[in-house]
Structure 1
Amino acid sequence: MSIALAPATHAQSTSDDRLLSDPAFEQSLPPLSPLLPAPAPGPESSSSNEDAVAEPVADLPADPALTAPLAPIATFDAAPPPEIDVASEKMPEIRYTLVVKGLKPVGLDDAFRDLSALLQDGRRAANAAQVSARADEDVQLAERLMRSEGYYDGIATVAIDTLPNATNSLTVELSATPGPRYHLGRIAITGAPPEPTALARKALTLDTGDPIVAADVQSAEAAISLRLPEAGYPFVEVGQRDILLDDRDHQGDYALPIISGPKSRFGAIRTEGDPVFTPEHLTLISRFDKGEIYDSRQVDDLRQALVATSLLATNAIEPVKTGQTAADGSEIVDVLVRQTKGPARQLAGSAGYGTGEGIKLTGSWTHRNLFPPEGALTVEAVAGTQQQSLGTTFRRSNAGQRDRSFALGASVARQDFDAYNAQTITLTGSLSRQSTPIFQKRWTWSIGGELIATRETPFEAATLDRDRKTYFIAAIPLQLGYDRSNSQLDPTKGFRLSARFSPEAQKRSGGGFDGYARILTEGSLYYPLSEALTLAGRARVGSILGAARDDIAPSRRYYAGGGGSVRGFGYQELGPKDIDDKPIGGRSLTEFAIEARYRFGNYGIVPFFDAGRVGEASTPSLKNMRYGAGIGVRYYTNFGPFRIDVATPINRQPSESKIALYISIGQAF
């Protein structure tokens, strides 16, 4: 069946128009605009509304205010309205209290509180919205901390009460639900040959069953980057780890790809930049030989040795592939040293004061590379109330061998102490291996020679008088040291031992030749009682064998007293004295000292007790020991502690100082 839709007829349309038009309803509506006249009928409207009649629009009454004249401009107030300082009206702060639940059982409460946004600003906020924003940050923080410790299912929520309340403050409650902890499952290292894979697995200190702790994983991966270059793989690359978590048994299978690069051996040393040292001298300084398995520790050692010269502003060392292959298939890599020249000249100065020693000012000028390589020239002057000197020293570091120094020196000096006054000319030479602030060596040694011409005033026991004499002295000082302390400038644990032996020959005016030997041994011990408190002790014993005291030049005898000896006594004040109570020195020395070094920040307090004795005989003894006690303050700088010590002698004797003051740089021992 088909159905046809016929168009509407004219009669139907007219009937519909009548249904849509309601004249009574339209008459009841108000006009659309009472102010405007009805629109003029158009052609279309005239044909359809021929019976409509336009109603006239009534005139609106005039407004007197609109026609009134304006007031004179002079009557207006031109002053601007007062400003309102909204910023000065401080909004009241909202106080809140933070309650943390669920983190302490898993050991994360302290870490959370250290990083919490809610605890950073004194638990105050400008408004509730700020409290809510901080709470959202802490929710994310808590979840990150839980994931970092292996709680991957951990969630955190926060609840904040509303204002106003009884306490007029908010309570923010953060609740953490760690869930089960995930542990390592299978561990695999991929992408490298068997040898570097085995080295990497040994360096990766992770085991199946360990909790998945982010810090431990990152530390273990960093160990691979350190260990493989130490074993001949300088170009190792550690890839991105993959941990596949299984929420059924709460384990994660760990996989780490690495690119080991070729196993390498040391080749030649090359240099670039503004070279201070030639490849030949760099080869002398280095501790590795060509053809040895590459070891990054040897490269770091060379870098530190270059820093220790103080001649470079910057230096960088890296391995460079050569494409050459050794007999065992390993690759030869050169060591490229990039150098930037630093300042070679240096000015230095120091000052000190000691009772009996007076004020002492020292200044020096050094050119560290006047005679390359590493040939330094130093000119030093001392100006003091009781001593003055001028000297010059030539020193070649790394002289023919790493860490070996050769030095030549000459000086003239004048000294005026209670024990003696002297005018001295000295020539010295030495070959030594000494510690530096960067390289603190366990074993040190020195062998040298001294030629001395000096005019001094010795005390003559036979005549009870002091007459000026001239001495010509030749000495061969030998020294050996062993250092197991943890610092060169400020040790807090360990010990040090040293021994000095100096055979000497002397020609004095009015006498013949004298031969004798000076021996001095010393030991120091440092024991930490706590992180802030260190107990330090020192013992020193000396002896002169082979000559009578009065035959030895006064400047070569042993004395005690002063900031580096027995505090509480003036410089050289302790020991035998002449009829005028002036020290005359001796042939034996015994000293002890003990300190309690308490440090707080950059400051320290050091009570101390010292003991010492100088004897006329050559055998050290503990009889008739003298004691001094005092207290010191320390200010710790990056180059060592600044020291002020105040002490007094116990059982003080006539002519001895009541109070002794010492000011210097560095610990007493």
Structure 2
Amino acid sequence: MNQPGTAPARGPDAPKDAVQASASGSAATDPEGDAQIVPEAEFNSALPPLSNDINAPLEPMPLDVTPAQRPAKAVTSSAPVAPVAQSAAQAPITPGTLPAPAPVDPQLAAPLEPLSTFNTVPLQTAADTVDRDAPQIAYDTEVRGLDPLKLTDEFNALSALKEGGGKAANATQVSARAREDEALAVRLMKSLGYYDGTAVSTLEQPAAGTNAKLRAIVSATPGKIYTLGSIELQTGETVPAGLVQRELPLKAGDPIEAARIQGAEANVSLKLPQQGYPFVKVGERDILLDDATWKGAYTLPVDTGPRSSFGQLRTEGDPVFSVEHLNVFPRFEPGQLYDIRLTDDLRQALVATGLFSNISVEPVRTGQPGPDGTEQVDLLVRQSKGPFRSLSGSAGYGTGEGVKVEAAFTHRNLFPPEGALIVTGVGGTQQQGASVTFRRANAGKRDRTVSLLGSVLRQDYDAFNAVTATVSGRISYDSTPIWQKPLTYAFGFELVGTNEQTYDFEAGGRRRRNYGIVALPGQVLFDKSNDLLNPTKGYRLKLNVSPEGAVSDGVRPYARTMIEATGYYPVNDSLVIAGRARAGAIFGIDRDDLAPSRRYYGGGGGSVRGYGYQRLGPFDPEGNPVGGRSINEFAVEARYRFGDFGIVPFFDAGNAYEGTFPKGGNLRYGAGIGGRFYTNFGPMRVDIATPLNPREGDGKVALYISIGQAF
């Protein structure tokens, strides 16, 4: 029997005896096995000479070398060389010769075409092709297990299945959407503290031969709810002690709800800057869940930073306001405990000037000690100049007043700081005029305004026809939407020259008269309402007094007075009952000696609705109102609001009287209904009213369109 062949062991693991045997065997079969094929000296002499210049050009290589030119090869072995086997595809190689080069393809030798000539639109593969006529499958979505957690609506709003609209290319796409909704259901359950919650999705195929749809079902199992087992706050000492714990509205036993915990942490970031800690930083929470007890150990690091007090104002950027004028705006004093609400109030007041394209106010640490162990914090005001010029306009309509359009050009900083020039034009069916106003806002005190006005106005109403020139000045301390004040005031002067046409009872006809009037009007307003433009609770009391003197066929001093009270009572979140009472009186002058434009008139959108503008009060023999020396008005509204809209039924009463004091009788009544559209600058108002006890000449319906509530 033949023995299988063996090979000597080689490698590092071979036995030494085997290695030695192999070496000795090789020596026995090849006695010159270790001899050099070419001696080293001969090899080195055959090398071409090398130059030390690395930049020298390379020597050309010979294209062909004859056998005679080749150096002789030393052969140290006499053993015959085995012939090299050739494949059938190989051509015999003649020693000393190379095959002829193949002919060059002309297309390869041609220059390349520019890239711009190529079509770079990618090829459309079968996967990219969308066939609009490809059939789609319809499916229904059903979610189970989330209703008890009140998560179904939130799930439907975020669901991939719902987003698909009940249509998909195939069942695989429906299945992929269902898997996404599984993860969604789990996330929603975890957000409420159900950390063991699971969700699975299944597809129910419709029965064969029916028109039923494929049904995708997502089933959620919430499991046990996790609650807070312990609460640990990693924070330093505060004043008062335990401030962070007090402002973190969490306690042991509360569910680990994501929204609840995030809201509690946000409360810390909100409340601490209101109580002297402007640099508070809430770190990353850590909640360690215990599967055995279904409780979590809650840890929250809070870096309160230094307790701080207000320091000085600094500024950088475009110098719209100097530091001196900036110090007019703050509602705090240096050394007062820091409150971020006062910082925001300062920023909003600067924005309200309309002179900045961008403005920011941020606290800056100083390292300087303040009172009560606080650190002084300066406020850095970064100013960026905005446009100073603007155009504005308004329009309105009222029965008896007609159409009125007003346009104004304003340069808000012509006389820095905040010295404005305002040019106004008024046009309408019964009013035309123009005015120029110079106004200094925040004049030495925030929200104190000093203004000087010159105007010319033509008015043509049933009560009078007047052409009036006025020069007036006024100093006022006013409320704003940013800062509604409980007590405001205004006082000033008026110089009026007017030419007016009115009915002369002594002459028995209409005639024109010239009047010169000097007035010192003043106003005080006590405001306890909750909103400047759209109050829903509280009350307001206003008193106007204007000592005046008239020059027309003699000098006559007199005084005009008006007192007004409004109140607002919220029945619920949607309904507010609003009421108003107003009474006015003019002392020291007869009615007919008083310029018609200075008398009291009732009726119109801001008075007793349902009656024409200025049509309440005494009439002349021609049927036109002549006004009176006293007036009283009453109104009640039921303001019902739903979203940005509202419906307001109302009832008004009032009249104007010839005597000095108003009377309780002889009232005229009006009623109607209004619509409101609420905007961020106040409600837009449309009222339709009718007089309940009209006189001859009163219309049946009156329409009023304006901005703002009636009162």
TM range (shorter): 0.7 to 0.9
* Match for residue 501 of structure 1 among 544, 547, 552: 544
2:451 counterpart of 1:407: yes
Tell me what 1:654 maps to. Answer: 696
Find the counterpart in structure 1 of residue 223 from structure 2.
Answer: 179
Structure 1: which 5+ runs fail to align?
11-41, 44-84
Question: 1:284 is paired with a residue of what secondary structure?
Answer: coil
User: How far apart are 1:346 and its partner, in Å?
Assistant: 1.4
**Equivalent in the alignment of 1:132:** 175
| 1:442-501 CA distance string (max 9 Å, x none) | 43222222222222234344443333333232322222224444543344x124423232
TM-superposed deviation, 1:256: 0.8
Give 1:310-349 correspondences, 5 Å limit.
Answer: 310-326=354-370, 330-349=374-393
Kept in 2, the 8 Å contact 1:200–1:227? The answer is no
Q: How big is the shift at 1:278?
A: 0.9
Distance 1:499 1:591 in 2: 14
Match of 1:268 in 2: 312
The aligned counterpart of 1:157 is 200
Q: Does 1:353 align with 2:420?
A: no
Correspondence for 1:439 among 483, 501, 506: 483
Aligned to 1:394: 438
Aligned to 1:147: 190
Counterpart of 2:361, as a letter, is I
Partner of 2:72: none
Residue 206 of structure 1 deviates from its aligned partner by 0.8
Post-superposition shift, 1:328? 5.6
Shift of 1:572: 0.6
SS of 1:586's partner is coil
Answer yes or no: is the 8 Å Cα contact 1:605–1:632 preserved in 2.
yes
Structure-2 separation of matches of 1:161 and 1:654: 79
- State whether residues 414 and 420 of structure 2, in contact with CA within 8 Å, keep that contact through their aligned partners in structure 1: yes
Indicate if the aligned counterparts of 1:524 and 1:539 stay in contact, CA closer than 8 A. no
Aligned partners of 1:122 and 1:626: how far apart in 2?
A: 61
Provide the residue aligned with 1:380 in structure 2: 424
Task: Give CA deviations for 1:68-107 in whole Å, capped at 9, x if unaligned.
Answer: xxxxxxxxxxxxxxxxx97242413312141x33222233
Displacement of 1:318 in angstroms is 1.4
190 and 622 in structure 1: CA distance in 2 versus 1, 3 angstrom threshold: same
Question: Which range is displaced more, 160-169 or 250-259?
Answer: 160-169
Aligned match of 1:513: 556
Which of 228, 232, 236 is the equivalent residue of 2:280? 236
Q: 1:6 to 1:199 in 2, by over 3 A?
A: farther
Equivalent position of 1:584 in the other structure: 626
In 1, Cα distance between equivalents of 2:518 and 2:425: 24
Q: May I ask how many residue pairs the two structures share in their alignment?
A: 591
Which of 236, 245, 252 is the equivalent residue of 1:201? 245
Find the counterpart in structure 2 of residue 224 from structure 1.
Answer: 268
Question: Which AA in structure 2 matches 1:317?
Answer: V
Q: CA deviation at 1:230?
A: 2.2
**C-alpha distance in 2, partners of 1:320/1:97?**
55
Describe the superposition over 1:313-372 as per-residue Cα deviations: whole angstroms up to 9, x where unpaired: 111111222233347654332211101111111111112222222222211111111111
Residues in 1 aligned to 2:397 and 2:620: alpha-carbon distance in whole angstroms: 26
Match status 1:466 vs 2:529: no
**Which deviates more from structure 2 when the two are superposed, residues 642-651 or residues 142-151?**
642-651
Contact 1:196 1:260 in 2 (8 A): no
Q: Check the 8 A contact 2:345/2:482 in 1, yes or no.
A: no
Return the offset for 1:411: 1.6
Map of 2:25 onto structure 1:
none
Residue 213 of structure 2: aligned partner: 169
How far apart are 1:566 and its partner, in Å? Answer: 2.0
Task: Please give the per-residue CA displacement for 1:88-147, whole angstroms capped at 9, x wherever unaligned.
Answer: 42413312141x332222332333233333233443333222222222122112211111
Asked if 1:548 corresponds to 2:594, the answer is: no
**Distance across 2 between alignment mates of 1:563 and 1:485:** 22
Give 1:564's match in structure 2, choosing from 600, 606, 625: 606
SS at match of 1:261: coil
Whichever residue aligns with residue 498 of structure 2, its letter is: T
Letter paired with 1:89: D
Counterpart-to-counterpart distance in 1, 2:540 and 2:340: 32
- Residues 1:194 and 1:288: Cα distance change in structure 2 (over 3 Å): closer
1:475 and 1:280 map into 2 onto residues whose CA distance is 35
1:417 paired with 2:493, answer no
1: CA distance, partners of 2:555 / 2:522: 25
Residue of structure 2 aligned with 1:189, choices 219, 233, 236: 233
Supply the distance in 2 between the matched residues of 1:396 and 1:588 (Cα, whole angstroms). 35
- For structure 2, the residue ranges without an aligned partner over 5 or more in a row are 7-83, 86-128
- Identity fraction in percent: 53
Superposed displacement of residue 284, structure 1: 1.9
CA offset at residue 634 of structure 1? 4.3
Aligned pairs for 1:111-126 within 5 A: 111-126=154-169
> 1:311 Cα shift?
0.9
AA at the equivalent of 1:404? R
CA deviations over 1:416-444 (Å, ceiling 9, x no partner): 21111222222222222222344333432
Structure 2 SS opposite 1:132: helix
Pairing of 1:632-643 with structure 2 (within 5 A): 632-643=674-685
Q: How does 1:290-309 map to 2 (within 5 A)?
A: 290-309=334-353
> Once structures 1 and 2 are overlaid, which stretch shifts more, 248-257 or 326-335?
326-335
CA contact 2:603–2:609 (8 Å) conserved in 1: yes
Q: Which amino acid aligns with 2:601?
A: Y
- Give SS of 1:219's match: helix
SS at match of 1:467: strand
Task: Name the TM-score, length of structure 2 as normaliser.
Answer: 0.77
Question: Retained in 2: the 8 A contact 1:184–1:211?
Answer: yes
